[in-house]
Amino acid sequence: MRTLAQLAPGERGRVVRMDGDADAVRRLNDLGLIRGTTVEVIRVAPLGDPLEVRLRGFMLTLRRAEAEHIELE
Amino acid sequence: MEQAAAGTISAPAAPSPADGARGGGLLHVALVGNPNTGKSTLFNALTGMRQRVGNYSGVTVERVEGRYRDDAGPVTVIDLPGTYSLSASSPDEEIALAVLTGRAEGLPRPDVVVVVADAANLERNLFLASQVLELGLPTVVALNQVDAAQAAGIHVDPVELTLELGAPVVATVATRGEGLDVLRRAVRQAPSLPLAERQFSLPGEAARVLRPVEERLAAAGFHPSAAGMEALRLLAVTHIGRHLAHVDGLGDAVAAARAEVEAAGLEPRSLEAESRYGWIGDVVERTVRRSGTGARTFTDRVDAVLLHRVAGPLVFLALMALVFQSIFTWSEPLIGWVEGLFGALGAAVAGALPQGDLNSLVVDGVIAGVGSVLVFLPQITILFLFLGILEDTGYMARAAFIMDRFMRSVGLHGRSFIPLLSGYACAVPGVMSTRTIESPKDRLATIMVLPLMSCSARIPIYALLIGTFIPSVVVGGIFNLQGITLLAMYLLGTLTALGVAAIFKKTLLRGRARPMIMELPPYRLPRPRGLALSVSHRASLFLKKAGTIILALSILLWALATYPKTDPAPGMTDEQAQEAQLAGSALGRLGHVVEPAVAPLGYDWKIGVGILSSFAAREVFVSTMGTIYGVGAEADEGSATLREKLRAETHRGSGALVYTPLVAVGLMVFYVFAMMCMSTLAVVVRETGGGWTGVRWAAFQFGYMLALAYGSALLVYQGGRLLGWG
């Protein structure tokens, strides 16, 4: 199973499972990152973290620490 | 009529039946929406310049209110902080929810809510909108930025959307004032329309197990629809929120419901998001038509450069250098102008009033005190102008994106970088700009270390001491020792700020690492009117709150330097008389009192007086030295007489020179660390919660910085002497 943190820029996947920090998950949920959402990694910040991703037509940043808990198919 | 409910915690939240029947009169409207939806622009367009900015009681969340008038009567509008949901997990969100449920202190429950939704981002915006629609309040949806959405090939049908949501939807372009009249009419009519209800159903089990929670909320006075929204929301949150603290047994009921949802094979934490987004997906399907070609947008192309691995950080550094440089160079003439104005005013009043204590109080206490406050205005204005432009264009989020990894190494958030950088110009606007940091602990840690960044008020001290005591010799072929010393002072402050922040985040302000989940909004042109308003809000906030404290302290310092009086001996020049007066005053005596404490640092009582008086502001040290050494209070860091007198000063008794280069370096190190600035203290009190909480934080900050200053200066002086440099 791949996680969002393992995607290279330009790659995308569909979320099948999210866990980790409850607050972070809830915040991502509120923004529309839920099971079934398609996410694409756009780029990685110059210092290697955080990531920029696209979902539902907008751009979002999150750290690898959160992305590692988002499993994709 | 809702006024009576303000601030009372147990007031029923349900609107009275009279609401629907009311045709005119005063209407309270709340504006709510995601960040970057043009909500504030819409607010400005609706209310014009008739706005009032303050704080919600007990929290440092800005409260912006305005008003307008329609045919039927006056309308007050409150612009709630931008929020993505009503999860109440940040102070901003908690306030938004408290206002909407009628539980914000001193505010009536709104009669009408306007949800501002970005037409180009309807899916995400409908999440908040659908939560608000369930609160049991008349609601109007302003579908904003329809022009930008159309340009991107996104066409939303407002009529279809009205039918789907069960609440009126008005298309607007706030930047051009389009749709405002229709919106105003819809707001006036909203109370007479039937209330919207939840438009989707929960999985059977979930609906049943949530009922006990809903009943508790309904029993506590919640509108049935609002109780349903709160119950669903509570499944996902870690704390229930202050506005529900009074509902009996709510925590237990929620925990029980959560367990039952789980037992039914559902995920309680994501139940709300999955149900709402499931419904939203269908709504968007039916109301949005896309004609886009999927071409790269303007924002994509700009970000390819601004967030590029190599170019991104370089552009960022160049921008920061530009901002930083402008604060220094542009504010310089303005500061000079303010100082000149108050100097002239002081001189005019001094001439007009009869000689005596009243004259001195007005001129040296009040006018000089007010001047010392106003002198910060140019820097505050320029910094907030730049910060406003960076925020409006959408670059601020990119700056946090670029700097997050670096700031995290000291336990802070990407958002802490720009406030810290602002500290190089002046800690006052820097502390005020920490409001963009979401996590209260990160924000406190940033405020606590911010005054360690060498601000521009230290420059006169550095300039005087370096110019007087550090030889201008070339080292290493190209570097001047004076320049290196100055650079060392800046580095010392910066590295200490980062180190202390790391320590605070590991001890006093320890907490879970806060996630950095942030939207990177599309780039936009800044709105000059909105910018002007927000800059003037900041300036007036500073003047009102900090101004009063600073004025009081200025008068206190004046009194200490004026009493008791020393009559000049015959034949004394004015300057000698001034010197004798200061030496005999309470401040001068205090200098003698603190002399034993500062003696281990190599200082005499005169430096003690300088340090005490510089509590007003660091640069006062230089003018106090001017008074003490009888070259007049107008002395500045470039004054040749002052420099000569300092170089020649000897200790009583031993005859040894007071100011050796070692003492000078120690004194500079002292000023790198010491929080000698009452304006900053006043702003810290305000921004760390105000009242006693704020006073305690400010006192703690003053104390730790003074200890750091004293310890370091002691180390420099005594260590240097041991090494034989003194």
Instruction: Give the model confidence (pLDDT) of B618-663 as tens digits.
Output: 877 887 777 777 665 566 776 777 788 888 888 777 778 888 889 9
Asked if the Cβ–Cβ distance from A29 to B269 is below 8 Å, we say yes
CB atoms within 10 A of CB A16: 13
β-bridge pairing B154-156 and B288-290: antiparallel
Is B274 in CB contact (< 8 Å) with chain A? Answer: yes
- Can you read off the two tokens belonging to residue B595? 């002399």
CA B99, B102, B105, B107 dihedral sign is positive
Contacts of A22 in chain B (CB under 8 A): 238, 269
Please give the structure tokens belonging to residue B413: 């958030």
> Which residues in chain B are contacts of A59 at CB distance < 8 A?
299, 519-521
Query: How far B521 CA lies from chain A's nearest CA (Å)?
Result: 7
Distance from CA of A11 to the nearest CA of B (A): 16
Q: CB–CB of B123 and A26 under 8 A? A: no
- Which of A56, A58, A63, A45 minimizes the C-alpha distance to A9? A45
Kind and range of the H or E run holding B480:
strand B479-480
CA distance readout (Å), B172 to B66, B138, B144, B175, B181 = 19, 19, 5, 9, 10
Contact B236 A26 (CB under 8 A): yes
Contacts of B309 in chain A (CB under 8 A): 46
Cβ pair B346, B363 in contact under 8 A = yes
Q: Whole-angstrom Cα distance, residue B301 to residue A73?
A: 29
pLDDT, residue B483, reads 83
* β-pair partners for B527: none
Rounded Cα distance between A18 and A72, Å, is 9
Q: Do the beta carbons of residue B139 and residue B113 sit within 8 Å?
A: yes
Name the residue among B394, B395, B431 with its Cα closest to residue B416.
Answer: B431
CA nearest B323: which of B258, B384, B372, B240? B384
Name, in order, each residue with C-beta under 8 angstroms of B32's C-beta and a sequence gap of 6 or more: B39, B80, B83, B96, B100, B113, B114, B115, B116, B128, B132
Other beta carbons within 10 angstroms of residue B715's beta carbon come to 13
ipTM above 0.85, yes or no: yes
The residue written with tokens 């009243």 in the block is B358
- B545/A23: higher pLDDT: A23
Closest by CA position to B55, among listed B78, B74, B35, B36: B78
A27 CA: distance to closest CA in chain B (Å): 8
Are B375 and B324 a contacting pair, CB within 8 Å?
Answer: no
- The ranges of chain B with pLDDT < 50 are 1-22
Q: How far apart are the CA of B398 and the nearest CA of chain A, in angstroms?
A: 9
- Taking the Cβ of residue A40 and every Cβ of chain B, the question of whether any pair is shorter than 8 Å is answered with no
3-state DSSP of B613-681 = HCCCECCHHHHHHHHHCCCCCCCCCCCHHHHHHHHHCECCCCCCECCCHHHHHHHHHHHHHCCCEHHHH
User: What DSSP line would sit under B46-80, residue for residue?
Assistant: HHTT-EEEEE-TTS--EEEEEEEEETTEEEEEEEP
H or E element at residue A50: none
Q: Rounded to an integer, what distance in angstroms lies between the CA atom of residue B85 and that of residue A59?
A: 17
- In terms of C-beta distances under 8 Å and separation of at least 24 residues, what long-range contacts does B409-412 make, across chains too? B410/B498, B410/B499, B410/B501, B410/B502, B410/B505, B411/B445, B411/B501, B411/B502, B411/B504, B411/B505, B411/B506, B412/B442, B412/B445, B412/B446, B412/B501, B412/B505
Q: Which residues pair with B74 in a beta bridge?
A: B69
Q: CA of B152: which chain A residue's CA is closest?
A: A57
Q: Which of A26, A27, A45 sits opposite B405 (nearest CB)?
A: A45
Which tokens sit at B452? 């360690």
Backbone φ, ψ for residue A62 (5° rounding)? -150, 155
Pair type for strands A2-3 and A12-18: unpaired
Q: Please give the Cα distance from B272 to A30 (Å, whole number).
A: 9
For residue B238, give how far its alpha carbon lies from the nearest alpha carbon of chain A (Å).
Answer: 7
**Residue B554: CB partners within 8 Å, gap ≥ 6?**
B365, B366, B368, B369, B370, B372, B616
Please tell me which of the candidates A34, A50, A59 has its beta carbon nearest to residue B270. A34
Q: Kindly identify which residue of chain A lies nearest to residue B120, measuring between CA atoms.
A: A57
Q: Judge: A52–B520 Cβ closer than 8 Å, yes or no.
A: yes
Q: Is B567's Cβ below 8 Å from some Cβ in A?
A: no
Q: Check CB contact under 8 Å for A57 and B121.
A: yes
B148 touches chain A (CB under 8 A): no
**Helix, strand, or coil (residue B196):** coil
The dihedral built from the CA positions of residue B103, B106, B111 and B115, taken in this order, carries a sign that is: negative
Distance (Å, rounded) from C-alpha A21 to C-alpha B88? 16
**What average pLDDT score do residues A7-22 get?**
93
In order of A27, B191, B386, B402, the CA distances from A46 in angstroms are 24, 51, 24, 6
Output phi, psi for B217, to 5 deg. -65, -40
For chains A and B, count residue pairs whose Cβ atoms are closer than 8 Å. Answer: 121
pLDDT tens track for B493-537: 999 999 999 999 999 888 777 788 989 999 988 888 888 988 887
Angle at B710 between CA B705 and CA B713, to 5 degrees: 120
Report the relative pairing of strands B51-55 and A51-55 from DSSP bridges: unpaired
pLDDT at B9: 34
Q: Which of residues 394-433 of B touch A (CB under 8 A)?
A: 397, 400-402, 404-406, 408
Is the Cβ of B518 closer than 8 Å to some Cβ of chain A?
Answer: yes
d(CA B443, CA B454) in angstroms, rounded, equals 19
CB-based contact B516 A63, cutoff 8 Å:
yes
Residue B269 distance to chain A (closest CA, Å)? 7
Strand partners, B657: B650
**Buried/exposed code over B613-630 (b: 16+ C-beta within 10 A; e: otherwise):** bbbbbbbbbbbbbbbbbb
Structure-block tokens of residue B721: 């002497």
What value, to the nearest 5°, has the Cα angle with vertex B341 and ends B336 and B342?
A: 100
The residue among A18, A40, A38 whose CA lies nearest residue A28 is A18
Structure letter (DSSP) for residue A40: E
To which residue do tokens 């690898």 refer? A64
Q: Which residues of A touch B518 (CB under 8 A)?
A: 60-61
Q: Is B718 left (phi over 0), alpha (psi -120 to 50) or beta?
A: alpha
Cβ pair B307:A63 closer than 8 A: no
CA gap B362, B436 in Å, rounded: 39
* DSSP assignment of A2-18: EEGGGPPTT-EEEEEEE
Distance from CA of A61 to the nearest CA of B (A): 5
Of A22, A31, A45, the CB nearest to B402: A45
Residue holding tokens 């910066």? B494
Q: Read off the DSSP letter of residue B86.
A: S
- Provide the chain B residues 290-319 that lie in CB contact (below 8 A) with chain A: 299, 303, 307-310, 312-313
Q: Nearest CA of chain B to the CA of A70: how many Å?
A: 13
Q: List CB contacts of B413: < 8 A, sequence separation 6 or more.
A: B400, B404, B407, B437, B438, B439, B442, B514, B516
Token code pair at residue B24: 């005119």
Q: What is the pLDDT of residue B20?
A: 40
